[in-house]
Structure 1
C-alpha cells in the first residue's frame, strides 16, 4: 500500500467525498500485486473507451510512466513520480502546459493516478541518510496498479467484442453477396417467385444498416438476411427437385407406354417423389445437423450442433468445451463462463498469460473462427504442462487447419477421456 493517510489537494482545489473514495480505492493494492508497466499501459490503451480517457490523456500517462525507474510496478516499491511540468511537456511530445494540466486532471478523475501534494504544492523527493527515499510528492501510480485486474478484464472484453464484430461483418458481407447473386440467378433462370418483392425487401434491409456498426445493431439485421438467404436457397432447391421429379415422371411414362401399349391404366410414379420433395422443404432445412457426442453427467448424449467455417472445422457446444477444459472457467468474467463471449474474453486473458502473441491469435481466429480459437486456447491451457511453447503450438494448429489436417473434436474427446479416467481411479482402487 502506497500510503495510509489522506492527501488533500494543494491551493484552491477543493476536496470532495468522491476524491476521498478514489484515493482510498487507489491505495487498496492486493498483497504481492505486480505488473509490467508497459503491458499494463497497453491494457489501458485497449480499455480506453471503458475507462473514459482520451488518447491525449494516454500520452500524458505514457510520459508519467517513463519517470518511474523500474519496468515493474509493485506495492513494495514507491509508486510516486515527481517530474516538473516542463519535463512532462517535453516527454508528452511537446504538449502545451495548459493542455497538460487538463489531461492530468482527466487521469485523476478517471482514477488512474492520484495526486500527492506537498505542503507548498511542489513536486520533489526527500532522501534519508542512506540515500533511500524518505518522502516523495507528485503523482502516485498506485491506482493504476490497484485497478490492474479490472483494467485487464475491460481490455479483454473490448478485444473479444471487436473480434466478434469483425466476424459478424464478414458474415454480413458474404450473406449480402449470396442474396444478390442468388436473386439474379433466379430471375435469369425464370424460377417462379415474387423476386421483385424479395429484392425490394433486401434493399430495405441494406438501408437499415447503421454507419457506426456495433454488435447490438448488426445482429438483428444479420439474422434477417440469413433467414432471407435460407428461404431463397430452399425455394431454388425445391424448384430443382420438382424439375428432376418431372423429368423422371416423363421418362417412366414413356417406358410404360413402350412396354405395354395396350394398357389403359394410368400410373403416377412421381407422386411419392414430389411428396418427399415437399416434406424436405422446411424453413430451416439444411441449416444445421446434429451429431451424437460424449455422454454428459446425467448420462444423456450431448448433441453437437455442427457448423463449419472457412477451414471446415466443426463448432461444438460450449458445455462440452467447459466439461473438457474446466481450468478456463477461472479466467472468465467474475470467475464464470456462461456464453461464448465469456469464453473468448477468458481466452484473451489466457493468451496473454501463456505468451501467445496477438498476431498468432488473430491469425488462428481468421482461419478457425473466434469460437473455435477460444476453445483451442482452453485446450492448450488444460494441457499446459505438456506444451513448451503455446504460441508455436497455436501457429502449428493454424497451419494444419488451413490444410484441413486439424479437427477440434479429437482434442476435446481426448481431454474428456483423460478426465473420465482420472476421476475413475479412486473408485477402482476402493473396489479392489
Structure 2
C-alpha cells in the first residue's frame, strides 16, 4: 500500500524513519477534527520536557503559529505555513539564522511539525482557480492536531506532578517548623532529654535535602521527619504526664497525711506476718503504658528485626511482636522478663525494646538483665524509649546510609 503523502527534505538534509512515521501519522488526521492552536501550544509549554523540546524551539513554534491564518487548526483551514527565515527571525525577536534552523530541526525531530519542501527548497504557496490557497510548501502543523490528546494528557501529568511537588514542599516546611519550635520549647523549659543531640540530628536530616529536590527525595525525607516529629511529641507528652503524675502523687500524699493525723500504725504496733503480706507485683503502683512510636520509625531505627517477621518481613505491629518473640528466645530473654516488660511498657513498646536490643547486640552482655533493668526504670518513670530510638536512627537513618 502506497503512503498518502511522503515528503523528503531538500538539499543535504537526510530523511529519517522518525520523520516518515510523523508523516504517516499526520496523514491519518480526522477531517472533522480541530484544536485551538494557542491551547495546544500552552499544553506543549507545560509538557516540553516529556515531549523533548527546548524553550527556544517553542519560541520558534510560537512564531510559526502566528503565520497560521485561523485560531483553529483543522483540515479545512490547511496545515502548511510558509514564512521565510527572515520573517521567522523577526517574530522570534531577532534569533540568529543558525539557531533558528537548529530549533526548526528540533521541532521536526520531536514530531511537532513536518517539512513540506518545494523542489528548490523555497517556501511558498500557489493560488487555486477559486482564488484561495492551493499547493503550499513550508511547514505542516498537522501533527499538533493529530497528537493533541497525547500532548494534553502529558501536560495534565506534568501539572499534577507540580501540584504534588508543591504539596510535599508545604508539608516539609510545616514539619520542619514544628520540629524546630518543639525542640526550642524543650530547651527553654529545660526539659530533661537529649535535645541538643536531637537538634543536631534534625540539622543533618535537613542538610541531606538537595537544593532542588525531587518528589521522591522529599517523600523520603518527609517520612523521616514526620517520624522524628512524632518521637519528639511523644517524648514531651511522656515528660508532661510524668510531671503531672508526680505532682498528683505528692498532693494525694499530703491530703492523706492531713486527713488522718493519727494513723493506726502510729497508735498500735503492727505484727503483720509474711504470709499476710501482699506479693510484690500486687503492690506495684499501676502506670498507664506509654503510647507506642510509629512503626515506620521503629523499623528505620531497627532494620535487623525485619528478617525475623512472618515471611521475612514486618508490615504491622502484629508482625513486629511476632518477630520480637522469636528474637527474645534467640537472645536468651526469659518469658517472665518479657511478659513483665509487656505489662509495664505495653506490648508494642516491649517489642520495640527487643528490636533495639537486637540492633545493639554486640554492646549488651546480658539481654535479659538489660531488659529487666529497663523495665524497672520504666516502672519508676525513669526510662523513655525515645532517646534510644533516636540514637539508633542516627546510626541507621538516611544520613548514615548516605555517608556510609
Instruction: Specify the TM-score bucket, using the shorter chain as the normaliser.
Output: 0.5 to 0.7
Q: Which residue of 2 aligns with 1:226?
A: 226
> Partner of 2:76: helix, strand, or coil?
coil
Contact 2:25 2:143 in 1 (8 A): yes
The 2-side partners of 1:41 and 1:263 are apart by 94
| Cα distance change of structure 1 residues 30 and 224 upon mapping to structure 2, 3 Å threshold | farther
Q: Which residue of 1 aligns with 2:26?
A: 26
After TM superposition, the runs of 4+ consecutive aligned structure 1 residues lying more than 3 A away are 263-272
Q: Choose 1 or 2 for highest CA Rg.
A: 2
Q: Which residue of 1 aligns with 2:77?
A: 77
> Partner of 1:160: helix, strand, or coil?
helix
Contact 2:165 2:215 in 1 (8 A): yes
The within-5 A match list for 1:64-143 is 64-143=64-143
The 1-side partners of 2:211 and 2:98 are apart by 35
Q: Which residue of 2 aligns with 1:48?
A: 48
The 2-side partners of 1:234 and 1:31 are apart by 66
Contact 1:165 1:215 in 2 (8 A): yes
Contact 1:245 1:270 in 2 (8 A): no
Contact 1:249 1:269 in 2 (8 A): no
The alpha carbon displacement at 1:134 in A equals 2.2
The 1-side partners of 2:9 and 2:78 are apart by 20
Contact 1:183 1:195 in 2 (8 A): yes
Contact 1:44 1:151 in 2 (8 A): yes
> Partner of 2:171: helix, strand, or coil?
helix
Contact 2:123 2:137 in 1 (8 A): yes
The gaps in structure 1 that reach 5 residues or longer are 286-432
The 2-side partners of 1:212 and 1:184 are apart by 27
> Partner of 1:136: helix, strand, or coil?
strand
Give a deviation string over 1:2-23, Cα, whole Å, max 9, x none.
Answer: x921111111111222221122
Which stretch shows the higher mean deviation, 35-44 or 245-254?
A: 245-254
| Cα distance change of structure 1 residues 224 and 245 upon mapping to structure 2, 3 Å threshold | same
The 2-side partners of 1:200 and 1:186 are apart by 14
Contact 1:125 1:136 in 2 (8 A): yes
CA-based RMSD of the aligned residues comes to 2.4
The 2-side partners of 1:17 and 1:38 are apart by 29
The within-5 A match list for 1:253-332 is 253-261=253-261, 262-264=263-265, 271-272=285-286, 274-275=287-288, 278-279=289-290, 281-284=291-294
The gaps in structure 2 that reach 5 residues or longer are 271-276, 296-404
| Cα distance change of structure 1 residues 263 and 75 upon mapping to structure 2, 3 Å threshold | farther
The alpha carbon displacement at 1:260 in A equals 2.2
Scaled by the length of structure 1, the TM-score of the pair is: 0.61
The 1-side partners of 2:117 and 2:131 are apart by 22
The 2-side partners of 1:219 and 1:208 are apart by 13
| Cα distance change of structure 1 residues 193 and 127 upon mapping to structure 2, 3 Å threshold | same
Give a deviation string over 1:118-163, Cα, whole Å, max 9, x none.
Answer: 1221111112111122211110000111111111111111111111
Contact 1:80 1:141 in 2 (8 A): yes
Scaled by the length of structure 2, the TM-score of the pair is: 0.65
